[in-house]
Amino acid sequence: MVKTELRVIYGDTDQMGVVYYGNYLRFFEAGRNEFIRAKGLRYRDFEEAYALRLPVVDAQVSYRSPARYDDLVAVETSLAEVRRASARFEYRIVRGGELLATGSTVHACVDLEGRVRRMPPELLSRLSVGEAPAGPGKGA
């Protein structure tokens, strides 16, 4: 699990003063990028090295309690499953000890033309399902 702290900015909130529901997916993306970075690889480097992309093909969010402007929240990101051509990440968003939201995203591995491809063995060796990283990783 990799923990990423974010400060809620005013632009993340709706008219009611709480984080707009769609912005939780942005928080998931921030957590996912930091997860990959903690494994020693920047997402940009992955795209360039392998000429592959990992688009979201499924997303799920369960909301429990609202985050508000200026809250410091943590996105806890884990890689739950890796298949030949897809990966599923799970997320928990917390404020202090309070669970605000949970969710997951599934990503297909595709080439630049959008055709499904197998995950490269080198990438699979860097990603460990359910393991916490030893340090911040390269390219931080």
Residue 115 burial class via C-beta count within 10 angstroms: exposed 0-12, middle 13-18, buried 19 and up: exposed
Three-state DSSP state, 52:
strand
Catalytic residue selected from 14, 58, 70, 111: 14
Say what the alpha-carbon torsion angle 28, 30, 35, 41 is, to the nearest 10 degrees: 140
Is residue 45 part of the annotated active site? The answer reads no
Q: Which residues are catalytic?
A: 14
